[in-house]
Every structure is written in C-alpha cells, then in structure tokens.
Structure 1
Amino acid sequence: MDIVAWLFSALLTAAGVLWALVWFLIGGWVSTLLQIAVLIVVIYGLKYGWRRAPFEIWRRTQSFGRFFWNWIRAREPDTRTMAQGPEVIREIRVHEFGDINISTVMSLAAIVGLWCVAAL
C-alpha cells in the first residue's frame, strides 16, 4: 500500500510541476497582453480624448479582427493546380540613385573610420 501512495505522490508532484510551468507561461502571455491593452487605451485616450477613445479602439479592433480572421482562414495553394503548371511571377525592383542598404552603409562607415585613423 505504501508503494501506491508513493506512486500517487510522485504523480501529483509531476502534475504540479507541469501545471506550474503551464501557469507560468500563460501568466506571462496574459500579463503581456494586458500591458499592451493598457498602453493602447492610454494612447487612444490621449489622442482622441476619453469620450471618443472607446469608439476608435472598437473600430480599429474590428478591422484588425477581420484581418486576423482572414489570415487564420487562409489556406495553402492546392498542390494539384501547382502540378499542372504554376504561373511564375517575378518581381523586378529597379534601384534608383540613392538606394543603399544598411550593410553597405556600415561597410563604408568602417572604411572611412579606418581611413581617419590611418590619417592620424
């Protein structure tokens, strides 16, 4: 009988540890979402005033909700239609004068910095 009590105690301890982990994760998510909600209410309250803010929050939430719901309902393209001959879409981006990426900027900054140090 002691073995049954010992096994039951070990099972309860393991379940308690698992529940504590789940509660820790869910509590962090809930806390984060509540902080974001409070931040949104404060920003909209300062931007639109306390009388109009709830309406604006509701209006924006509905549009975001529709976007999120459509994103959830979206499906992957059907593989049968892809096997029949997928249409190839290529995007061609023309670089205009002045277009430069951050990697190039950082490389040029390092070269200029080394050149300045060498001049000293």
Structure 2
Amino acid sequence: MKRFKMIQSTWLVVITTMIAVASASAQSESESTIQGYEASEVHLTLDSGNSLLGVRVEGCELCTQQSYLPARDIVISEGRRSLSADDYQRVSGRSGTIMFDDKNKMVFEVNFWAPRGEGEVR
C-alpha cells in the first residue's frame, strides 16, 4: 500500500509538471512577437536597381538596434498608399513606423508618414 501511494504521488508530480509546461508553452506561443516602433528617420538601403537591402532607423527611442533586414515580402507605404521601388529614394530618410518580427528581427512593413495636408479628407 505504501508503494502504491509513492507511485501515485510520483504520477501526480509528473502530470502536474506536464500541465505546467504545456500551459507555459501555450502562453508563450500566444504572445505576439510583432513590434512596431516610430522613428524620426527611416532610411532605406538600396542597391543600384532600387532593390531594398536594409532598413536603418534614427531617432527611435524604443528600437533595440539601428539596422534591420527586410522580409522578402516587405510592404513599403506612405500613409495609406503602397509604394513601388521607384518611390523608395523619395521617401527614404523621412519619419515613419517600422513593423518587425521580434523573433527574427526582420522588418515586414515600413509606413512613412504622409506630409501634413496630403491625403487628408476635407
């Protein structure tokens, strides 16, 4: 009988541990790794064909680094308008928001703020 109680106690500890581990794992998976930071300057590093090589930020209080790699399907926009590679040099260096995945530190969206008065509904 004593041995049965010892085995029963051991199984209780094992099951409790498994539940705690599963709960912690589910909680960490549900926590978002998406971060969005505002920067006074967002610079797009381009090659000679206007292909995006990197994103560099200045004046970003919350950013943990100054340079980020772009995700393969990165979206670059100005206000509500999506931009093409032809527009990148025009907006590079302006204020904006970067969205990146904190797990891989890759930027998947850059939104440059539209100059005041542009795109506003009157």
Higher relative contact order (CA 8 A, sep 6+): 2
Q: Which of the two has greater strand per residue?
A: 2
TM-score (norm 1): 0.34
